[in-house]
Amino acid sequence: MTRAVSGSEPQGSTAVETGPARVLEKGFVGQSIPRKEDERLVQGLGTFFDDVRRHGMGYVHFVRSPYAHAKIVSIDVSKALELDGVYGTITGDEVAIQTDPFFEMSVEPGGNIKDYALAVGRVRHMGEPVAAVAAATRELARDAADLVEVVYEPLPVLTDAEESLKDEVVLHDDAGSNVVWSGVFDWGDVDTALAEADHVVKIERLHFHRFSSTPLECAGALVEYDRGTGEWTLTCNHQMPGVGAIWMAPALRTGIDKLRFVTHDIGGGFGNKICLHPQYVVLCLLARKLARPVQWTEWRTDQHTANAHGNERTFLDVEVGVMKDGTMTGFKVKALDDCGAFPRYEPLGCIIWAQVTPGMYGWRNIRVDFTQVCTNKSPVSPNRGYSRMQHLWLTERIIDVVAQELGFDPVAIRKKNYVRNEQMPYETPNGCVYDSGDYAAALDIALDLVGYDTIEERRQEAAARGKLLGFGIGSTLDSGTNNFGQSTLLNPELQFSGNNEAASVKLDIFGEVVVTLGTVPQGQGHETTASQVVADIIGCTPDQVNVRRGHDTWFNSHAGFSGTYASQFAFTGLGAVKGAAELLRGEMIQLAAAVLQAPEEAIELSEGFARIKDGPPEAALPFMALGAIVNANNAFLPPDFNPTLNHRFVCRPYFGMVDTEKKTGQLTLTYATQIHAAVVEVDPETGEVDVVDYAAVDDCGVRINPQIVEGQVHGATAHAIGAALYEDFAYDEEGTLLTANFYDYHVPHALDMPPLKTGAMESPSPVAPLGAKGMGEGGGGGIHCLCSAIQDALRPAGGAIVHDSCNPPHRVWAMLQDPERTRANVRVASK
């Protein structure tokens, strides 16, 4: 097995020997086949949920809190109801009667929080929905919402996690504390490691900021209620319907079989469309109450204000042990995570980071004292790189701070401490297994791409122009296919473990090959990659394979954890497709053997035919014949032979159980590698950062469709660059979000993006069905690498320490003005 190593620049490739992988024979898999999805999308013929209409449908607008924290004294909807064309309203009081609070994942105190679909008695973040109105048009619904009179009594506001921790103001009386969850993770022996180290580097505080990937299509759904059957159909853009239903059905006091999720095209998700259950429950109640379909499309400002932010995390009292030769022995840290007003998907973020506990490094002794609190800010939701990105940013910050303070070369210290290729598969201190990869080799490709050997000359040349040039590295992991059993490390009572995904493949009457997926793609090209896999297995072309768009509960091809999240389609999604296609293939061969009166071993499937290998040309059955025989012309088949040509397969990866005492176990299965390298120029007058050279090297094992993989790398990089330089969900003391839409929240535009160079390696995963690792999330490599580059640029100007993950010009300027302020944050104790 060889793996190609190539970069978009320099051209060309080399080959390196590596371990075995279970991959398909060369065929369509591995080729950059242009996507099947594109034809409709470039013509404006995609179907997004907001494109779907129903007769008599009501448009829903939410009445939202203008306060970050307040008591609701009264709500009066009468004026709204008087408006012509208003169909009806719903308030928190009705929700409290008709539904139960959503299930909470945490133990106490967070587990006692009561989270309803609308605010009940109290609002806890700006933009929190307190009521909803349905009307004949979007405009009317908005007008009517303005007529709903809500009297509030403002309460003191918490916007800072450390303040929250004091519990002077408590957000959720039922919990009695703002702490959602806390626990200590202790692996190895960090105290001894620190005591024996030649140097101990202490960093008082690092802050990973709030932002989100803000998909271009906002959230929403069209909900229909069938009064005869009690079933709801949600035409929507939820990206994890399996889990959405687990939240919604008990809250609605109904069975999961009564909720049908349908998705078509989805305009991006990035995790931000996982926590839509509160709004969807309101829509379900309204559809039932008003006996008509209702539709809600979130406004952009509402999405920013009150849907899904990424987790904000403060790292306190970091201590790192370093030996004279640069070997790092371990670290300890207190992590304080701010999940906003309600935990929802949390406190899963309190454990998900542990998939990448040592980052890419050989640290064996690690202690993380983790606490999550509520504040009066928007709730969080998984956001591309969810929870691991924050932790990996910490590990990369540690490396660069240590390098700067102790005078190590940032490349050399990384290579010294990286887990090495020959250690793969590598078990981390907490029992996760890094499946494959060659981090040092990937770094070399990245260094080549940005011309690392000329950095010093370029630094001088920039200095001559009055610019501070900096070079930075971001080494990151994109862990995929997570083990839901890790939730039991937070709450041993939870009955979740493992993971699964389903797909079905059938051969229909005229020879149509039809694939249905349990996944919920939002731009990842699942229709294309699934068709490549099926085509190779049953012997046809991807064009002949019809992969149904989107998800439909009624396809019956989903499983409990179905969805598109956590970098896992390449493993579980395609694993399910492969399994189903192989079952179909087996039956097609059996059937052809029976019809052609030949042994099964003599049958081959290729080019849309089942034929006898090396047989006469007439000894061949087109797929159409196979489909027709089973479905419409089957009388001659023997009674004990019952082919269905319709197979569902559930891919269930094997993890084993986690150890809730030691907090160890296989938390996820595949680890794609990304190494980013950047060259920046900082303008000392303004603090502006210009990214002048950038490379991202990805190793996700076998690439089913390299072009799609590269597209994901581009996208993840753009998100990281935006986060590192501009995007910040900042709040004022009153809890007002200062960047509530694209006017104030600057995401990268075409002119902001540096030219991106990409490189790729393939270290096939020994555990994944196709040798392919999940890779969409990207691990925030760009954030790590730009923080690293900015710190390098500031070195000759006082050596400020980059302590925040977001570095817009004003923050960089402040570091230039007063480097000592950030330097005071760091102390070194040497033997």
Measure the CA–CA gap between 260 and 231, rounded to whole angstroms: 7
Q: Is position 241 an interface residue for ligand FES (rule: CB under 6 A)? A: no
Measure the CA–CA gap between 519 and 549, rounded to whole angstroms: 10
Q: Is position 295 an interface residue for other proteins (rule: CB under 8 A)? A: no
Nearer residue to other proteins within complex by CB, 727 or 762: 727
Q: Of ligand FES, other proteins, none, which one does residue 220 interact with (CB within 5 to 8 Å by kind)?
A: none
Minimum CB distance to ligand FES, residue 36 (Å)? 15
Q: Is position 753 an interface residue for other proteins (rule: CB under 8 A)? A: yes
Scanning 359-420, the segments in alpha helix (DSSP H) are 388-406, 410-417
Q: Is position 657 an interface residue for other proteins (rule: CB under 8 A)? A: no
Measure the CA–CA gap between 362 and 593, rounded to whole angstroms: 55
In the chain, the amino acid numbered 425 is P
Q: What are phi and psi of 446, to 5 degrees?
A: -60, -40
Residue of 12, 20, 44, 228 interacting with other proteins (CB under 8 A)? 44
Site for ligand FES in 508-547 (CB under 6 A): 523
DSSP string, 465-503: TT-EEEEEEEEEEEEEEE-GGGGGGT-TT----S--EEE
Q: Please, what is the Cα angle at 629 between 624 and 630, to 5 degrees?
A: 105
Site for other proteins in 137-156 (CB under 8 A): 137-139
Minimum CB distance to other proteins, residue 710 (Å)? 8
Q: Of ligand FES, other proteins, none, which one does residue 717 interact with (CB within 5 to 8 Å by kind)?
A: other proteins
Q: Is position 97 an interface residue for other proteins (rule: CB under 8 A)? A: no
The length of the chain is: 831
Q: What is the DSSP letter of 454?
A: G
Residue of 394, 534, 678, 708 interacting with other proteins (CB under 8 A)? 708
Minimum CB distance to other proteins, residue 304 (Å)? 10
The stretch near other proteins (CB under 8 A) out of 33-41, 75-83, 394-402, 680-688 is 33-41
Q: Of ligand FES, other proteins, none, which one does residue 350 interact with (CB within 5 to 8 Å by kind)?
A: none
CB 155 within 8 A of CB 70: yes
Measure the CA–CA gap between 359 and 357, rounded to whole angstroms: 6
Scanning 233-276, the segments in alpha helix (DSSP H) are 241-251
Residue of 429, 701, 715, 779 interacting with other proteins (CB under 8 A)? 715
Q: Of ligand FES, other proteins, none, which one does residue 546 interact with (CB within 5 to 8 Å by kind)?
A: none
Nearer residue to ligand FES within complex by CB, 216 or 291: 216
The stretch near other proteins (CB under 8 A) out of 97-105, 135-143, 187-195, 501-509 is 135-143
Burial zone of 78 (CB within 10 Å; 0-12 exposed, 13-18 middle, 19+ buried): exposed
Residue of 51, 153, 317, 543 interacting with other proteins (CB under 8 A)? 51
Q: Is position 522 an interface residue for other proteins (rule: CB under 8 A)? A: yes
Residue of 268, 343, 766, 769 interacting with other proteins (CB under 8 A)? 268
Q: What HEC string does 742-806 produce?
A: CCCCCCCCCCCCCCEEEEEECCCCCCCCCCECCCCCHHHHHHHHHHHHHHHHHHHHCCCCCCECC
Residue of 12, 20, 43, 407 interacting with other proteins (CB under 8 A)? 43
Minimum CB distance to ligand FES, residue 730 (Å)? 22
Minimum CB distance to other proteins, residue 680 (Å)? 17
Residue of 151, 216, 412, 657 interacting with ligand FES (CB under 6 A)? 216
Site for ligand FES in 415-454 (CB under 6 A): none
Nearer residue to ligand FES within complex by CB, 218 or 783: 218
Residue of 85, 267, 511, 809 interacting with other proteins (CB under 8 A)? 267
- Token pair of 118 as six digits: 């609308």
In order of 430, 495, 669, 819, the CA distances from 661 in angstroms are 12, 17, 21, 43
Residue of 58, 110, 268, 321 interacting with ligand FES (CB under 6 A)? 268
Residue at token pair 């938390």? 667
Residue at token pair 């986690």? 658
Q: Is position 218 an interface residue for other proteins (rule: CB under 8 A)? A: yes
CB 717 within 8 A of CB 474: no
Sequence-ordered list of residues with C-beta below 8 angstroms from that of 91, at least 6 positions apart, any chain? 75, 77, 118, 130, 131
Measure the CA–CA gap between 667 and 388, rounded to whole angstroms: 12
Q: What are phi and psi of 634, to 5 degrees?
A: -115, 10
Minimum CB distance to other proteins, residue 553 (Å)? 22
In order of 99, 650, 768, the CA distances from 96 in angstroms are 6, 37, 45
Nearer residue to ligand FES within complex by CB, 238 or 313: 238
Q: Is position 412 an interface residue for ligand FES (rule: CB under 6 A)? A: no
Minimum CB distance to ligand FES, residue 267 (Å)? 6
> For binding to ligand FES (CB under 6 A), which residues are involved?
216, 268, 523
> For binding to other proteins (CB under 8 A), which residues are involved?
32, 34-35, 37-39, 41-48, 50-51, 53, 137-139, 213-218, 265-268, 270, 297, 299-301, 522-525, 707-708, 710-711, 714-715, 717-719, 741-743, 747-751, 753, 756
